[in-house]
């Protein structure tokens, strides 16, 4: 019953046009409040006190680094270098994108940051 209400609320909010992140949060918190024994204050305290994976905090900082490299032009220069290096070969654009992603990952240190920074530029190339 709880799972049915959770999914019904989630897909209902998405169908109404609420963004997915807010739909996930609103549906899960409301199901916890409706079917759980905890109050909202104790739920918030429990969420913050049970955060054990401190390494996950680094992911937004990697994405911030990729934003700096992208806005500064370093990512575009890496893509241009990769296209100039092997882009002239037949089907060279996919190989150039892999080369640019390898170089950008070596600089930023994160694969999700590479996807965010280089993926949008390679779609336009």
pTM score of the predicted model: 0.48
pLDDT of 11 above 90: yes
- As a whole number of angstroms, the distance between CA 106 and CA 121 comes to 18
- As a whole number of angstroms, the distance between CA 17 and CA 23 comes to 9
pLDDT of residue 17: 93
> Per-residue pLDDT tens for 63-80?
777 777 778 887 788 888
pLDDT of 125 above 60: no
pLDDT of 106 above 90: no
Q: What is the mean pLDDT of the chain?
A: 80
């Amino acid at each position: 019953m709880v799972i049915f209400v959770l999914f019904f609320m989630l897909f209902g909010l998405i169908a109404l046009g609420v963004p997915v992140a807010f739909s996930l949060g609103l549906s899960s918190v409301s199901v916890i409040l409706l079917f759980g024994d905890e109050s909202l204050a104790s739920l918030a305290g429990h969420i913050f006190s049970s955060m054990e994976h401190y390494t996950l905090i680094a992911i937004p900082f990697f994405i911030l680094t990729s934003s700096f490299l992208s806005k500064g032009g370093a990512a575009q220069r890496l893509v241009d270098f990769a296209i100039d290096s092997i882009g002239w070969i037949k089907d060279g654009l996919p190989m150039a994108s892999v080369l640019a992603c390898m170089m950008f990952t070596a600089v930023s240190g994160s694969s999700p940051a590479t996807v965010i920074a280089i993926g949008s530029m390679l779609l336009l190339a």
